[in-house]
Amino acid sequence: MSYKIGVIPGDGIGHEVIPEALKVIAATGVSLDTVDYDLGGERYLRDGIVLTDDTIAEWRGLDALLLGAVGTPEVPPGVIERGLLLKMRFDLDLYVNQRPFLAPDGSHDFIVIRENTEGTYAGEGGFLRKGTPAEIATQGSVNTRMGVERCIRYAFELAASRERKHLTMVHKTNVLTFAGDLWDRTFNEVAAEYPAVSTAYNHVDAACIYFVENPQRYDVIVTDNLFGDILTDLAGAVSGGIGFASSGNLNPDRTSPSMFEPVHGSAPDIAGQNKANPVAAILSAAMMLEFLGETDAGARIRAACADTESLVGSTTEVGDLVASRV
Ligand code: IPM
Ligand code: MN
């Protein structure tokens, strides 16, 4: 059997890291039936297309999507981010963004579960009197009980399946007293259903210190969309670098295909030079295989990437090396 995968290399180094991820999957023997989608800033500059509803409808028939990176300096901020990446996350209801972090020396091993469809990313807000000296801009944070609860529930299930069974909620309940209160109550109510999972709470500013000084304290973390965005860049930086940070945008209910992508961006400064680290894309591919039930192939890819110090060389050399090890 063969999985139907939509592949979106995107922009910049996306074109370089995705072929390496596909090369490594091929080396595992798992068979993919891939469909390429030319989307991103470069495509938008050519013909103005970002992502149509017809393409989204087509994707519903796929098993998963693999994305490289999107973003081009010539396109104004927000066009591709909101029109492509966030549209994928929202329209396909990819409500969990799962981002694992492993220290190169194995001293920490934690997973951030970032709520992926709400918060400040929802796009609530607007301008009043724009362009005048009295202009007003508001940007709200949308938090639904349903949205918060399903994400927290996923995090508890994940924590319960791990050895340490520890879950930390990160928020800013001392200042964001409306959203924070909803998160806090939901977290405590769901916690009562998981007596085997020990819990903790950190304010997001304190979590930044712990990420740098004592990341060993974490097992699974659950947090909102914007805190999760910021924290996972920091987590990447303290876990060998952003070049190793992988992610899965998951629809745990499997009512639509999940999407897997490295945490990094399109890196226009190093694009086209065969210099980008393909490991983040390769580990995202491993997560995709595991989500599809190919746990053995996923584990073999992870093992092949474990000795990060040995993964040096050009993009293609690192891809070849990992492929030779799986
Ligand atoms: C990420 C990225 C995106 C986000 C951007 C490109 C919209 O930074 O996946 O972390 O903010 O979610
Ligand atoms: Mn980010």
* Bridge partners for 198 per DSSP: 166
Residue 247: what pLDDT?
Answer: 98
Ligand 1 atom closest to the Cα of residue 85 is 7
Ligand 1 atom closest to the Cα of residue 86 is 7
Q: What residue owns the CA closest to ligand 1's atom 11?
A: 229
- Rounded average pLDDT over 5-18: 98
pLDDT in tens, 105-144: 999 999 999 999 999 999 999 999 999 999 999 999 999 9
The yes-or-no answer on residue 172 being catalytic is yes
Among the options 33, 38, 233, 307, which is catalytic?
233
Distance 212 CA to ligand 1 centre (A): 21
Give the contacts of 241 (CB within 8 A, at least 6 positions apart).
Answer: 277
Q: Which of 242, 278, 314, 266 is nearest to 12 (CA)?
A: 266
pLDDT in tens, 92-109: 999 999 999 999 999 999
Residue 262: what pLDDT?
Answer: 97
How many residues are given for the chain? Answer: 326
* Domains along the sequence of the chain with CATH: 1-103+240-325 (3.40.718.10), 117-125+137-238 (3.40.50.2300)
Distance 179 CA to ligand 2 centre (A): 21
Task: Write down the H helix ranges in 169-314.
Answer: 179-191, 204-213, 225-237, 279-291, 295-305
Q: What residue owns the CA closest to ligand 1's atom 5?
A: 81
Inform me whether the pLDDT recorded for 232 exceeds 90: yes
Residue 233: what pLDDT?
Answer: 96
The pick from 229, 247, 260, 284 for probing ligand 1's pocket by mutation, whose C-beta has the most ligand atoms within 8 angstroms, reads 229
Inform me whether the pLDDT recorded for 91 exceeds 90: yes
Percent of the chain with pLDDT over 90: 100
Are 326 and 27 a contacting pair, CB within 8 Å? yes
Ligand 1 atom closest to the Cα of residue 247 is 9
The yes-or-no answer on residue 205 being catalytic is yes
Whole-angstrom CA distances from 127 to 80, 132, 229, 270 are 21, 11, 24, 36
Ligand nearest to C-alpha 75: 1
Ligand 1 atom closest to the Cα of residue 225 is 12
Ligand nearest to C-alpha 262: 1
Percent of the chain with pLDDT over 70: 100
pLDDT in tens, 256-277: 999 999 999 999 999 999 999 9
Q: What residue owns the CA closest to ligand 1's atom 8?
A: 229
Mean pLDDT, the chain, integer: 98
**Residue 317 CB neighbours (<10 A):** 14
Inform me whether the pLDDT recorded for 1 exceeds 90: no
Model-level pTM? 0.97
The yes-or-no answer on residue 121 being catalytic is yes
Residue 231: what pLDDT?
Answer: 98
Among the options 3, 121, 154, 218, which is catalytic?
121
Ligand nearest to C-alpha 261: 1
Confidence of residue 78 (pLDDT cuts 50, 70, 90): very high
pLDDT in tens, 278-322: 999 999 999 999 999 999 999 999 999 999 999 999 999 999 999
Report the C-alpha gap between 197 and 236 in whole angstroms: 25
Q: Which of 61, 171, 45 is nearest to 120 (CA)?
A: 171
Among the options 205, 253, 296, 307, which is catalytic?
205
